[in-house]
């Protein structure tokens, strides 16, 4: 069964399993996420469930969104995301207990933005030699263009530029603990993004395919 929830990354810590082993975990504030809207194939061309997360003052919501929330009878939410879920209705609230310890999940988020970065940091290029006339360019990338034909750098070459702040999905992570009372999930390992970043937690696609 497909499961999903929206959460906020709180940070990393460690817990101990039943054998006394240390398990590094990321703590996520998962939900509560009300079902705001149901999209249907007849009206929208596809089926999806729209979940909301995070309270927001009404005056900070645009008029179209305010009308959308009012029509569905749901309090305004800061974040709206769509998932392929079934068996839910508008107004239902999903909490952290949709997942249980041992579940395999995929976590998607926006990675930390690191600004402008050189080719070594951005693409793991090797540095140049620091002797025999290479000059003060040991951390520059080498020649990337062709010779006299076509006398230019091909599109798609790896160059310095903006690093990070892109959507990243980490697959097949394990839920270690689920605390519905405090809306917390402890997920083994690291997940994308900074503290306070929004993450989408769904049932692991590859784990389901392997099981079938």
pLDDT, tens digit (0-9, with 9 covering 90-100), for 81-139: 999 888 888 888 898 889 998 899 999 999 999 999 999 999 999 888 888 877 788 88
Mean pLDDT of the chain: 88
pLDDT for residue 151 is more than 80: no
Mean pLDDT, residues 37-61 taken together: 89
Q: What count of other Cβ atoms lies within 10 Å of the Cβ of residue 30?
A: 28
| Sign of the alpha-carbon dihedral angle for 84, 86, 92, 94 | negative
Q: Percentage of the chain surpassing pLDDT 70?
A: 97
Residue in 7, 6, 28 with CA at minimum distance from that of residue 83: 6
φ, ψ dihedrals at 71, nearest 5°: -65, -35
Q: Per-residue confidence at 188, pLDDT binned at 50, 70, 90?
A: very high
- Domain locations in the chain? 4-114+167-211, 120-164
**DSSP H helices in the chain:** 41-44, 63-72, 119-123, 205-211
Residue 60, SS3 per DSSP: helix
pTM here is 0.82
Neighbouring-strand partners of residue 116: 162
- 3-state DSSP percent of the chain in helix, strand and coil, to 5: 15, 40, 45
pLDDT of residue 211: 59
CATH superfamily of 4-114+167-211: Translation factors (2.40.30.10)
pLDDT for residue 199 is more than 60: yes
Q: Which of 57-61, 117-121, 128-132, 174-178 has the lowest mean pLDDT?
A: 128-132
Distance of CA 91 to the CA centre of its chain: 25
pLDDT of residue 109: 94
Mean pLDDT, residues 48-58 taken together: 89
pLDDT of residue 138: 85
pLDDT in tens, 2-42: 889 999 999 999 999 888 899 999 999 987 999 988 888 98
Mean pLDDT, residues 146-171 taken together: 88
């Amino acid at each position: 069964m497909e499961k999903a929830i929206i959460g906020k990354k709180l940070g990393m810590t460690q817990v101990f399993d039943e054998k006394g082993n240390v398990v590094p975990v990321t703590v996520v504030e998962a939900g509560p996420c009300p079902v705001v809207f149901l999209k249907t194939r007849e009206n929208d061309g596809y089926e999806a469930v729209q979940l909301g997360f995070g309270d927001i003052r009404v005056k900070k919501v645009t008029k179209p969104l305010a009308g959308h929330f009012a029509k569905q009878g749901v309090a305004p939410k800061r974040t709206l995301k769509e998932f392929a879920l079934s068996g839910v209705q508008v107004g239902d609230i999903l909490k952290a207990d949709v997942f249980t310890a041992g579940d395999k999940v995929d976590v998607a988020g926006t990675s930390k933005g690191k600004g402008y970065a050189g080719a070594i940091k951005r693409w793991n290029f090797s540095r140049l030699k620091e002797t025999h006339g290479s000059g003060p360019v040991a951390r520059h990338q080498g020649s990337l263009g062709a010779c006299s034909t076509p006398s230019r750098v091909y599109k798609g070459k790896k160059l310095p530029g903006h690093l990070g702040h892109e959507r990243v999905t980490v697959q097949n992570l394990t839920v270690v603990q689920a605390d519905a009372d405090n809306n917390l999930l402890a997920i083994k390992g690291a997940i994308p993004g900074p503290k306070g970043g929004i993450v989408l937690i769904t049932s692991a696609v590859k784990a389901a395919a392997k099981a079938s």
